[in-house]
Amino acid sequence: MRRGTAKVLVTGFEPFGGEDINPSWEICRDLPEAIGATRIHVLQVPCEFRAAIEVVAGEIERLEPSVVLSLGQAGGRAAMSVERVAINVDDARIDDNAGNAPVDEPVASGGPAAYFATVPVKAMVAAMREAEVPAIVSNTAGTFVCNHLMYGVLHFLAASGRPARAGFVHVPWLDAQALARPGEPSMALATMVRGTEAAIAAALANAIDLKESGGALD
């Protein structure tokens, strides 16, 4: 790779909760190697508290990317959801893949209550919709490993003074996963890959987010 080439790190999780696949990692596997002049690097992340942050932080130190975009499965959601905020709490309803299930514990002891995503959330949603991919701004990343990783990455970047911007996108079940869940929403892999590419391009192109409504009443 040429010295100075811009880089984006995209992460996806291993399967968890009894699933055989995780759409977040399947998306990563199908992403192109580059978008324009920017190289795309992908990383599979363990679905484990603590370990997830450690793995991604190590890759950030190695790559020094300009953008870090993490993906995670949110079964039951009908749209790709660009997360606005991560909160400093772990409250697991199920075990992670190492058998951990923290309840009401901080992601980072002494850390702020929350971090906002530093990528242009609304610009990313607009670009995804322009690519004909259902997408929304989400105001909750949950309290499982997805929120844990989003908060942990933003905390690591803030504490280390690194200039990379970071965010998180939750994705629906794949069509194959929804077969065992009649009536539950799903999305084709190709559609989610297209949406992720659009989100990355928007994150790279927009230093300042759009000033338009993306709020919710609930």
Q: Indicate which CATH number applies to the domain containing 183.
A: 3.40.630.20
Assess whether pLDDT exceeds 90 at residue 217: no
Tell whether the model's pLDDT for residue 218 goes beyond 70: no
Over residues 53-112, the pLDDT tens digits come to 999 999 999 999 999 999 999 999 999 999 999 999 999 999 999 999 999 999 999 999
Cα–Cα distance measured from residue 40 to residue 34, given in angstroms and rounded to the nearest whole number: 5
96/149 Cα distance (integer angstroms): 13
**Model confidence band, residue 189 (pLDDT cutoffs 50, 70, 90):** very high
Which of the following is catalytic: 83, 148, 155, 197?
83
Q: For residue 98, is it within any domain?
A: yes
Q: Which residue has the higher pLDDT, 179 or 196?
A: 196
Judge whether 41 counts as a catalytic residue: no
Q: What is the mean pLDDT of the chain?
A: 95
- Reply yes or no on whether 83 is catalytic: yes
Domain membership flag for residue 212: no
Q: What pLDDT sits at residue 146?
A: 99
Handedness of CA 201, 51, 53, 4 (dihedral sign): negative
CA distance 49 to 102: 9
Q: Are 195 and 126 in contact (CB under 8 A)?
A: no
pLDDT tens-digit readout, 34-53: 999 999 999 999 999 999 99
Residue 156: pLDDT over 90: yes
Residue 211: inside a domain: no
Say if 213 falls within a structural domain. Answer: no
The mean pLDDT value for 149-162 works out to: 98
Which residue among the candidates 59, 146, 155, 197 is catalytic per the annotation? 146
Domain residue limits at 106: 7-205
In a domain, 176, yes or no: yes
Give the Cα separation of 124 and 142 in Å (integer).
Answer: 20
77 in a structural domain:
yes
Task: Give 64's contacts (C-beta < 8 A, 6+ positions apart).
Answer: 7, 162, 164
Q: Is 53 part of any domain?
A: yes
What value, to the nearest 5°, has the Cα angle with vertex 84 and ends 81 and 87? 110
> Has 148 been annotated as catalytic?
no
User: Does residue 210 form part of some domain?
Assistant: no
pLDDT at 4: 57
Query: How many domains are contained in the chain?
Result: 1
